[in-house]
Structure 1
Amino acid sequence: MRLHVGCAMWTHKSWQGRFLAHPLPSHERLRHYAGWCNAVEGNTTFYATPARDTVASWARQTSADFRFVIKLPKVITHERRLTDTDEALHAFLTAIEPLGPRAHALWIQLPGSFTPADVPALARFLHRLTRSHRYAVEVRHPVFFNDPRAARLLEGALATVAAEWIPFDTTAFFRSPPSSDAEREAWTKKPRLPLRSLALTDRPIVRYLGRDAAERTIEGWQHWTDTVVEWLREGRSPTVFVHTPDNADAPLLARRFHDEVRVRVPELDALPQPIPTEPLTLF
């Protein structure tokens, strides 16, 4: 039983001198981030497959129990839509090999145009994948959330290879109008979908978007603290990524989420101690 928490990235301009020492060479920023959180979203791999040496550096900067949820490149998921992907997929899998067990799950984020009619293509793609990794799928078409038949179709395809369904919970964010520039930008870009909190495997993964105000982010995640506590008591090992529109306090918020869960599940392992910079508080 373990709870992993993290952010959408491991470096951010607003974190310099707060969560990460400053100045700090780029090849050491992940090590400092890993003092705050024990997981991270691998979003950069969506845009290009990284060099194997770069990935080896990620492994060197993190402990053996740190976890990456690594996104498949868009050439596989969005451009080729899961067909004729053997060459691109082989290059990607070769590149991320140095992570070893740190690669918690390979994240298949599908475009909003992916519909139930495309599920057979996903099923074929999943069955061709190596079983040396675990997989998690994110869909954004509303029909999967509003139509039980569509949800069951997708769940059936995922179940055959023990893949997880990643929800991106934006319900707290869209509860009231935006009040900052970052929130206004996110308002036009983030998916607006119903809440889903059903785990399919023993390693559920959640992406949660709060607000720039820390207290509103914390208020909005109360459903997830209850859900994660229940999952842990069932013997599952969840991973929760905390986002805000500006992500300015995301590492601190991720730790706060872990702390809230640990109060209710005291046997949960503590997070690592951050590399000191200066005292921080949320309020």
Structure 2
Amino acid sequence: MRIRVGIGGWTFAPWRGIFYPDSLPHARELAFASRAVTSIEVNGTFYRTQTAKTFATWAAQAPDGFVFSLKAVRYATNRRVLAEAGDSITAFMTSGLVELGDKLGPINWQFAPTKAFDAEDFGAFLGLLPARVDGVPIRHAVEVRHPSFCCAEFVALARKHNVAIVLADSADYPTLADTTSDFVYARLQDAKPDIETGYDAPALDTWARRAEAWARGETPPDLPTFGTEAAEKLNLPAERVFKTLSRWTALDDEAVGHEGQVVAVNPAVLETPRLAAD
């Protein structure tokens, strides 16, 4: 069983000379980054539609086994009535992202911090998310950032639609650690600018232990959950497996998890590339 750890994006000027060699051409940054980590969350897809050619180019530059997660277009989530997002969802899902092939990871549907939970409207939105596009299976995650989502009704709704709730480690947004799909999507957003690795060693060790627990099909007991059943063990299909190259996890395929039970962490989004670079 494997755990995947990655970064949010790959085009950042301050990374030159720290993560990327000074001599590396800008056009080779994705190829370099995708060989240092096992996943990258693409933020650009939130702001503008990409072409099938662009997705194919990204796939060609990344190695086998690599996975992109895509932040879904904002026009689908930044709206008053989510039930009316069908056209925007379809336009995004048919924009060519299936050109990523087996390198296509989860789609992250991120909502504004001001968007409160409305069970009927949110349920209608989840019902619009396609399970397949052109025969390619699609995994969905929702990143909700309003405290009203911290309730059993939302957890049950996400589980009904087999949609993961993004776990955010953030000082600004609530943390929901309920597992509602056959993978876990965690975003580590509390990196400190005065710490070279973003998180100090004890914090990284804690997240490594949590990732190990998810990979075993368990729910880490030290994270907040809001579902009514509060199960500690989850029997999940071993469809997709993920791996970490980060030094602090020290996991391998044989050491983590049990056959037939796997949770994927995709990805940990950090403010610094140091974790992945070492």
Which residue number in structure 2 is paired with residue 261 of structure 1?
Answer: 249
Q: Give the length in aligned residue pairs.
A: 231
Which residue number in structure 1 is paired with residue 265 of structure 2?
Answer: none
* 1:203 lines up with 2:183 in the alignment: yes
Going from structure 1 to structure 2, the CA distance change for 1:91 and 1:215 (only over 3 Å counts) comes to closer
Whichever residue aligns with residue 259 of structure 1, its letter is R
Aligned partners of 2:3 and 2:241 also within 8 Å: yes
Aligned partners of 1:58 and 1:99 also within 8 Å: yes
Q: Secondary structure of the residue that 1:46 maps to in structure 2?
A: helix
Which residue number in structure 1 is paired with residue 110 of structure 2?
Answer: 109
Aligned match of 1:134 in 130, 139, 151? Answer: 139
Q: TM-score, normalised by structure 2?
A: 0.72
Identical counterparts, % of pairs: 23
Q: Deviations over 1:126-148 (max 9, x none)?
A: 22222121100111112323xxx
* 1:214 lines up with 2:200 in the alignment: no
d(CA) in 2 for partners of 1:198 and 1:158? 10
Q: Secondary structure of the residue that 1:105 maps to in structure 2?
A: strand
d(CA) in 2 for partners of 1:264 and 1:25? 32
d(CA) in 2 for partners of 1:239 and 1:110? 26
Q: How far off its partner does 1:20 sit?
A: 2.3
d(CA) in 1 for partners of 2:241 and 2:208? 11
Cα RMSD after superposing both structures:
2.9
Structure 2: gaps (5+ residues): 133-137, 218-235, 257-273
Q: Deviations over 1:148-173 (max 9, x none)?
A: xxx211111111221100021025xx
Aligned partners of 1:164 and 1:200 also within 8 Å: yes
Whichever residue aligns with residue 137 of structure 1, its letter is V
Aligned partners of 2:2 and 2:252 also within 8 Å: no
Pairwise mapping of residues 37-76 of structure 1 onto structure 2 (< 5 A)? 37-76=37-76
Which residue number in structure 2 is paired with residue 182 of structure 1?
Answer: none
Which residue number in structure 1 is paired with residue 230 of structure 2?
Answer: none
**Greater per-residue helix proportion:** 1
Going from structure 1 to structure 2, the CA distance change for 1:165 and 1:266 (only over 3 Å counts) comes to same
d(CA) in 1 for partners of 2:108 and 2:29? 23
Whichever residue aligns with residue 227 of structure 1, its letter is R
Q: Deviations over 1:95-139 (max 9, x none)?
A: 21211232211111111222222x322221222222121100111
Q: Secondary structure of the residue that 2:123 maps to in structure 1?
A: helix
Structure 1: gaps (5+ residues): 146-150, 172-190, 241-253, 269-279
d(CA) in 1 for partners of 2:4 and 2:86? 31
d(CA) in 2 for partners of 1:35 and 1:66? 8
Q: Secondary structure of the residue that 1:207 maps to in structure 2?
A: strand
d(CA) in 2 for partners of 1:192 and 1:85? 24
